[in-house]
């Protein structure tokens, strides 16, 4: 179970202020491309599951993820997640021809085929996706991920923090934002849900 605090920043100015304040704690920046897939008969989405290929930094790394039963309440997201690395060249082939997800050797994809019944080369369809610039900070014992997500219909700014104690992580983060006069709100939807809705919340 992945448990994350998710706080939305209202605009680019708030995002710039956060990354400026956190600059001394910067650990990495990842340029991500996120692409999503479903079964041809909505086998995944009908069961509140999502299959994602995430490419890092111009396709130098690819991770396949299966997420299911996501719940987002009061800025805390809980979701079942299973993921593994995939050869980026294989991942790119699957983006070009989603049917190849039906035959690629992968523990996660084998789960999708067996548990959700998505079979054969005509079993998968591509849904599209979005790009994200993720700045990672090691701050006060927390790993903060500050996102600038580019959809076709706009840009979303968000802070994420995976934590075994989400209430405490949220308290520390909210205190930091309030002390620095930075507006924020609890995220109400996952990035995938926003992408599928076609508009920013």
Residue pLDDT tens, the chain, 201 long: 899 999 999 999 999 999 999 999 999 999 999 999 999 999 999 999 999 999 999 899 999 999 999 899 999 999 999 999 999 999 999 999 999 999 999 999 999 999 999 976 679 999 999 999 999 999 999 999 999 999 999 999 999 999 999 999 999 999 999 999 999 999 999 999 999 999 999
137 class by beta-carbon count within 10 Å (0-12 exposed, 13-18 middle, 19+ buried): buried
Q: How far is CA 178 from CA 13, 68, 137, 148, 169, in A?
A: 15, 33, 19, 21, 14
Q: How many domains does the chain have?
A: 1
Cα distance between residue 70 and residue 88, in whole Å: 27
- Cα atoms in the Cβ-side hemisphere of radius 13 Å centred on 196: 13
pLDDT of 58 reads 84
Question: What is the residue range of 191's domain?
Answer: 2-197
pLDDT of 1 reads 82
CATH number, position 56 = 2.40.320.10
List own/partner pairs for 105-114 with CB under 8 A and 24 or more apart.
106/64, 108/64, 108/65, 108/66, 108/82, 108/83, 108/84, 109/64, 111/66, 111/82, 112/44, 112/51, 112/66
pTM: 0.93
pLDDT of 121 reads 65
Q: Which of 38, 6, 20, 29 is nearest to 184 (CA)?
A: 6
């Amino acid at each position: 179970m992945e448990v994350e605090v998710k706080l939305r920043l209202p605009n680019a100015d708030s995002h710039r202020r956060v990354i400026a304040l956190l600059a001394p704690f910067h650990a990495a920046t990842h340029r991500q491309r996120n692409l999503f897939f479903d079964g041809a008969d909505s086998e995944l989405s009908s069961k509140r599951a999502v299959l994602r290929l995430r490419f890092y930094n111009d396709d130098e790394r690819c991770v396949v993820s299966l997420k299911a039963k996501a719940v987002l309440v009061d800025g805390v997201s809980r979701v079942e997640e299973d993921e593994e690395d995939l050869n980026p060249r294989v991942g790119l082939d699957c983006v070009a021809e989603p049917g190849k997800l039906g035959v690629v050797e992968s523990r996660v994809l084998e789960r999708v085929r067996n548990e959700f019944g998505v079979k054969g080369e005509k079993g998968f369809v591509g849904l599209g996706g979005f790009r994200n610039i993720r700045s990672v900070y090691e701050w006060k014992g927390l790993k903060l991920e500050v996102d600038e997500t580019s959809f076709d219909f706009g840009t979303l700014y968000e802070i994420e923090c995976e934590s075994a104690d989400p209430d405490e992580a949220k308290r520390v983060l909210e205190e930091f934002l309030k002390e620095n006069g930075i507006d924020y709100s609890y995220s109400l939807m996952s990035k995938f849900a926003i992408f599928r809705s076609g508009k920013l919340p």
